[in-house]
Amino acid sequence: MLLQKIKSFIILLGSSLKFLFFQFKKKRDFVFFSESHNYKLNYIDLLNNLNKEPYVTSLITSDINEYFDFKKNNYDVYYIGKGFFRTVIFNFLSCKYMIMTMTDLGNNLNKSLFCDNYVYFFHCMHSTHKIYTPKAFDNYDIIFSVGAFQTNEIKKNENINNLKKKKIYETGYFYLDYLDKNSNKSIAKTNCILFAPSWNYDVDSLFNKYADLIIGNLINSGFNVIFRPHPEIIKRNKSEYDFILNKFGTNENFILDVNPSNIQAMEKSSLLITDNSAISIEYSFAFYRPVIFIDYKEKIHNKNYHSISSSTFESEFKKEIALSVPIKEINKLNLICEDTIKNYKFNIHKTDALKKNFLSNISKSSEVAAQFLMNDNK
């Protein structure tokens, strides 16, 4: 363990210094920042589209496993950790475009005076004004929205709060395009259910109060349950998370999925259960399989979201495509799932119509985004 920590620190020190010293030689065109390996598939296609001559393109990551993954494939990648070195690099970063999917820039990490443009891309298809904090996107210069609805929400927020106008490009959703091109849609098991609760600051979240009951109800009825917790649950709700593992971890019908990618879990399951997770829309749009929402508590991180709009894209999806189960009927969840798997007819036509109505540049989002940046860079 000690040797591993020493090795990690040596990589961190060497990688961070190498990244900083290169800046004295030439200003990079594009720098991608990744907080975690979990986001890799959200940006990999855009990175590949920009990682070519004559551009100088680099990736900095706080995840050492992601560093090794990209290093073996000959990317210009640097491990910067989560502490002192990351802070220094963010303060003195020199590039034309810093591309990332971390909200609240300027609060979590500072902006550099030597970076020309900060670019935000979304890692979910939700609306911008309800599940995000009020100032989530204020300090970005360029936004890659997934469609016109996000563009309109951001512009309305700028007008209401007298904010500096950002460049907003309706590129589409990178990860959905990746799923369409790289997932196997024919290996689902009929008795396999994916349970993916979202994370929330609320101590009375669905996971904290009902995960035990939901998983037990399904396993005792003969279902295989893939449990995919939000990464923040593992970090911030460790006692509740450990309780679930201790209770169900040895059960042959219980499958824990904490892989950086959620693709395998979606491929193998025939039904998804969640409360507010963004995986719900990805699951239906990419795999055309049913989603059951447990109606419990809404995820609201902006109490004044009504000033932008009382409606959201996710609420429209829930109303038009998904199924809902009131929390008082949670004891019947096994019967509802059994009936859904056997009898529910997924409406592909309606789903495609919603997808086309809300999302831009389906199947070519990363190419469009790369072209926007290359044109902007001229």
Query: How much is the pLDDT for 135?
Result: 95
The residue behind tokens 């030439």 is 26
The first and second tokens of residue 239, run together, are 């006692």
**Extents of the domains making up the chain:** 24-173+360-376, 185-358
Which percentage of the chain shows pLDDT scores above 70?
100
Query: How much is the pLDDT for 147?
Result: 98
Q: How many Cα neighbours within 13 Å face the side chain of 230?
A: 21
Q: How sure is the predictor about 189, in pLDDT bands with cuts at 50, 70 and 90?
A: confident
Rounded Cα distance, 293 and 372, in Å:
36
**In the predicted model, is pLDDT for residue 95 greater than 90?**
yes
Query: How much is the pLDDT for 199?
Result: 87
**In the predicted model, is pLDDT for residue 1 greater than 80?**
no
Query: How much is the pLDDT for 160?
Result: 96
Rounded Cα distance, 18 and 13, in Å:
9
Query: How much is the pLDDT for 378?
Result: 72
Q: How sure is the predictor about 359, in pLDDT bands with cuts at 50, 70 and 90?
A: very high
Please tell me the CATH superfamily of domain 185-358, with its number.
CDP-glycerol glycerophosphotransferase, C-terminal domain (3.40.50.12580)
**280-336 pLDDT tens trace:** 999 999 999 999 999 998 889 999 999 999 999 999 999 999 999 999 999 999 999
What is the CATH class of 24-173+360-376?
alpha beta
Do 24-173+360-376 and 185-358 show the same overall fold?
yes
